[in-house]
Structure formats: structure tokens, C-alpha cells
Chain A
Amino acid sequence: MRRILLAPLDPVHDIGLKLIARGLSAAGYATLLLPPDLTTEEIIEQALQYNPAVLLLSRTLGYGVAENLARMVDLADAAGLRDNMKIGVGGMAIRSELAAELGFDAGFGQGTSVEQVVCFIEGTEYNPEVLRSGKTKRNLTDGYDYAWRHAGIAAKIDRITDQIIDWASRRTSPGVERAKLRDAAWDVDLWRARMGVGDFYQHYAPLCGELPANFYADGQLHPKTRRFSQQEVDGLEQYLAETKLRMSVQSLQHKRPGPLVFNQYGTGCPFMDIGHILASEAWGADGVIHFDPSWGARTEGLLDGFLTHQEDGTVITPANLNRIQRALEPSTLWQVRAHRGLNTPETVVLAGKIGADLTKINICYGSLAAGTDPARMTIDGYHAILYAKQYGMPFDVVTNEELSGVPAHKAFAGMLIVAGLARKLGARPILQPLFACSPEVMINGLMEDNYIDFNAAKIIALRAILNAPLWPGAPVGFLTHTEDRVQSAMTTALHACLAATLNVDAVSIASTDEAYSGGPISAPAKIDTLRAVQEGFRFFGRAGIAPTDQAQVFADQLVDGIEKTLTSVLACGDFVAALHAGCLGSREEGANPGRAGKDTVKSKTTI
């Protein structure tokens, strides 16, 4: 059994060394831990008597400490100990470079693992990748049977979704036709092999609006976009090749398996996005979400080419998505949002072909708070759900209309209609309630005491209605963030921890730039919240956050409000009419039926 002598040079602090000693004993080494505050001479005397294979010292670096450490090395040399004994030093602020300068065989900083020390003792290479959790992709919908748990709500949604399916069976739109063409005639394998896509664009361009039509006619780009140069592309390839060699991914979760943590990217530039994604992955994000420009949702048709954009949101093109997909770590879940505009079904098709894991669809949000005509959003959303099923992509049903002022019970009724429709069509929806201090919350004082009860109530209510995965977002803590990075990281972490203790499946988190509007989000701001969430998960472990009794009161009110909202939708007799009538969010509440794509829905016989 190899002997290890451990000696704290620090006058008081020896906790780190105690932990290492305990770990080495468990690993089968004979250890002798000396008391603190011995002189260097006394430690050398002990080493001569104990004859260890390795001497491990610990010391927090401070004034004059480097000289003491160097003296220890000199004395060990003089005593002839170095021939058969290695010396390592560890502690706060100790770095391997400094340890080597002082003559030690190794230096260990804060957070050193027992495995790292064992590798030093045994003279083997320390490979943290072997020891890190092997992250693998997880399907958020596994284990959910989508069984209704509330008979009254289930019956109403059954009738509403039957009406939607009947309505959709007789209609189409330019977006639906482009999606059909993309699905049938755009071969991703041929495209990736640079073998062309046949006459796809001859049929595609006539289905597009002015901007993409001009692009396909004579190469005109959107004024805020440009193509990358070959030199830039070569630079990206080199950057990626070098970074991938060093790449590893952390896990944020501690004792709980979840929730998975997603953050969003979309600086406008796919290169910067890739840099941000790599940072997110390295610092623990389980998934990333593609954020496209707002004009993309109001444009009939997608552009092509490897394009960078000067403003917020990264343009959806096959080349942009493909480059980003190729840069992802194998464990990273990739969501491409399709939820709100005129390219919803085609975006789902393209994302599916390129290899996305998840998408995002919500007919109600897209119609009431994102500017798309309700009829157009309904027919496009219906087909998007079918394509999501075809390409094996679960999708979240976001409820961001709450941010416009729509009460949670109405936004949830809309979400449950879309989820019920997806359930009926065989797709895999994920419920996405907001964890937010929304206008409804502010006006009615629902979070005057705490941010816990109303958010917890949403989870309690949804679980009482449908057995489906839950993914609060987007991002958690919406409208509680300020520009102060400490406050912002704190509120994100606390909301993520609330989600964790409620055992939800995933969360979307913001960066600490969430409330800053003066420029793009920075990479350090993304790392801030990932570190904060990781520390939060570590703090709570399997322990819980206890809502007050008010959470159940709120939950009961939500369930009651959802059922009443569905009754009003049924009374309208038509889902699209109900969207216009304000059943799922009225103008007074802040919802405004969109106009993009108005009058573009056609009977199947007339197109």
C-alpha cells in the first residue's frame, strides 16, 4: 500500500487536505494527515520517518507564502527526500505554473478532485473528460402518455380540435405550399453534397413574397444582410477545428436529473452564434434555441446562402442552419423556433431535414401577440404540427402572449388547445408556461409577497389537466431582470431552482443581459447565468422550495379560468373566429389579432 503524507502549511485551514486524505484512504492508499501549523523542518522530519511516496502540502497563497513553499522544496532536496518522493502543493490561488516555478512536482488549485491527485500519485495522465458526466441527448417527452386528467377540459378541447381539423382539411396557404415543396423536392443529402437541388427554386420562388422573390431572381439581399467571404468561412473552419479539440461540456444538474437548461442564441451572425453556442455548451447548457429576426416571420419564403445579419436574430437559411448544426456538440439539444410567422410549416420541415431536435409552435401566440393573421396562423400551425410529427421533433407551445397582458388562464387555454390538437394528430407537444412577473401579475398584485406561488400554481394547474412534459420559459423570471448582472443572474437562478424543485423537464434561461437593450448579448453574460444556475442547483440538491397555501388557490383559479375560456371558444363555434373575438385574449387585455398573411388562406380547390 503506497503511503501518502499530507501536511497543511496553513496555520488554520486544512479542510481541502482533509477531503483529499479521506478520498485517498477510500481509494486504498495509506494516508497520514499531519496537524496544521507545523514548521517546514517539522514536516521534513515527519517525511523522513514516514517515508511516503508522495508528500501533499496545502497552503492558501498570500503574502510571503511563495518563499515558504520554495524553502520547503529546498529542505526536501537537502534531506535527500526527492529521490523517492514526489511533492505536490494545493490550495486557493495555487496554479500548476507557479508550483513548477517553485520546484514542486505538481500544483493543484481550488476544486481539485481526488481523481486528479490519484493521477499525480500514479504518474498517469489526468483526463477530466473520462471523469465528467457523459452527457447524452434526452427526449423531453419520454415517459409522458398525454392522458387527460380533467374530464371537463378534455371534452371541450376534443370538440374544439375536431372543428380545427375539419376547418384545416379544406384550406391551404402559400406557407403550406412552400412547406410541401420543401418537404418533397429539397433533398438535404444532395444539397450537402453540393449536387444541387434540381429545379426546386423554379417552383419555390413563385410562392415567395417580394424579398425572397428578388433574391431568387437576381441575388438581391435584405439590406441588413451580407454573405460571408470565403476567407471568413475558412477562418471559421479553422476556429472550429481548434476549439473542438479542446471542447468538453459540463453538467449543471446536481442530484436531480433535471431540469435540462436551454438558452437562446441569435446575434444575427452565425459565426458569433457558434462562438456563443460553444461557450454555452462548455459552461453547461443542455440545449440551445435558434432566434430568428422579426422580419423573417413577416416574410413569405426563406432566403438561401450563408448570410450574416447586422441586427438581432439570425436569418433562417439552409446554409446558416447547417453550419450551426455541424458546430453543435453531440449532446446538445437544438431547437429551431417556428412558432409565429409566415414560414412556420416550412421552418419545421427545414429544421427537421437539417437535424433539429425540437421546434416551437403556438397558433394562439402567433395570432394574438406575434402579428400573424389568425386564419393563416391556424392553417400553417396545423401543418407545422403534422411536419413536427413527421420529422420526429417534439415542440414546445409557448405562452408569451402573457407578456402582452393576456391573463395566464387564457394563454393556457390556447396552449392546451394546440397541445390537444397535437395530441390528436400524434405529435409530441411540451407545455411552456411562463415563469414571469407578467402584466396580469403586476396589475392584480399576484406576486406582491413572493415570486413562487403564482409560478408554482401554473405547474400545479397544468399537471391537474394533462400528463405532458413541462418546460417553463421563456426565459424564466421574465420581467424580473434588471441590467445589474448580479441581480439578473440571481433572479434567473432562483426561478430555475423553483422549476427544479417542481420537477419540471426543462427551463429556458436568459443571460444577464436580458434587460439590457443597448446592444447584442455578450458571451460572458450567458456564462453568468449558467454559473448561477449551476450553483443554485448545487445549493438546493434534492431539497425543495415550499410554496404557501396560496399556490393551490391560484392553481384552482387557473383551472377554473381555463375551463371557462374553453367554454367561450366553443360558444363562438369556430376557433379562428374565437381568436378574433378575444376569447383567448382580447384587445383590452393586450392581444391583437395579427395582419401578416391576411387573406392568404385559400380553399384547396382555388389554389
Chain B
Amino acid sequence: MVQSLEKVMDAIDVETLLVCASEAEGRSLMLDILKGFGFTDVDVVFAQFEGPGVRIRGRAYIHRPADKYQWLKQTGKAG
């Protein structure tokens, strides 16, 4: 799994409909889900609450800009 995650260019999005009573609850649930997957750099990109729940897109960044990208083979010496 960790090796597979190295192939993610920058981020993984998770989008779903969560059954909940408010947008705030939905946001909290999504962050819990992402952290439960083991992600640490997480956020909610979009959330739209309507009566049945929240349509939500959560994001886990694997590589931020200026990180050392694990999908880029590090062959040369730092110069």
C-alpha cells in the first residue's frame, strides 16, 4: 500500500454522500475517514449539505509541491 501511494502524483480525493445532520458533521466525518485510512495531510475540498446528508469531497495530499516526490527516481546527487 505504501509503495502504491508513492505513485500518486499529488493527492487522493474521496467523494461520497455521507448520511449526517449538518455540513459540519459531514466535514468532521470525512476527515475521520481520511485519517482512518492513515492519511495525515487531509482536507475537505467541497461539501454541500442537503437534508439526506452531505455530498462531500475529501482530499489527502501525498506529495505537496517542493516535496521529494517518491514517484520520481532519485538517481543523481544533490547539487
Contact = CB atoms under 8 A, between A and B. Distances in A.
A320 interface: no
Given A247-B51, A248-B51, A97 B19 contact: no
A523 B50 contact: no
B21 A524 contact: no
A197 B48 CA distance: 45
A243 B52 contact: yes
Contacts of A282: 50-52
A246 interface: yes
A279 B21 contact: no
Given A246-B51, A248-B51, A527-B55, A279 B17 contact: yes
Contacts of A283: 50, 55
A523 B24 CA distance: 20
A97 B24 contact: yes
Given A97-B24, A524-B55, A527-B55, A250 B50 contact: yes
A527 B17 contact: yes
B24 A278 contact: no
Contacts of B51: 243-244, 246-248, 278, 282
Contacts of A588: none
Contacts of B52: 243, 246-247, 275, 278-279, 282
A523 to B, nearest CB: 4
Interface string B54-76: 01000000000000000000000
Nearest to A247: B51
A523 B21 contact: no
B10 interface: no
A142 interface: no
Contacts of A524: 15-17, 55
A97 B47 CA distance: 14
Contacts of A250: 50
Question: Which of A97, A244, A246 gathers the greatest number of chain B CB atoms within 10 Å?
Answer: A246
Nearest to B22: A246
Contacts of B16: 522, 524
Interface string B16-28: 1101010110000
A127 to B, nearest CB: 14
A242 interface: yes
Given A279-B53, A522-B17, 8 more contacts: A95-B23, A97-B24, A243-B51, A246-B51, A275-B19, A279-B52, A527-B17, A527-B55
Contacts of A527: 17, 55
Most chain A CB within 10 A, of B17, B52, B53, B55, is at: B52
Contacts of B17: 279, 522-524, 527
A461 to B, nearest CB: 39
A600 to B, nearest CB: 43
9 contacts: A239-B19, A243-B52, A275-B52, A278-B51, A278-B52, A282-B50, A283-B55, A523-B17, A524-B55
Interface string A76-111: 000000000000000000010100000000000000
A76 to B, nearest CB: 26
A228 B69 CA distance: 51
A219 to B, nearest CB: 33
Contacts of B50: 248, 250, 279, 282-283
A440 to B, nearest CB: 37
Nearest to A329: B51
Interface in A189-247: 239, 242-244, 246-247
A98 B24 CA distance: 11
Nearest to A280: B52
B22 to A, nearest CB: 9
Q: Which of A95, A282, A522 has the most CB of B within 10 A?
A: A282
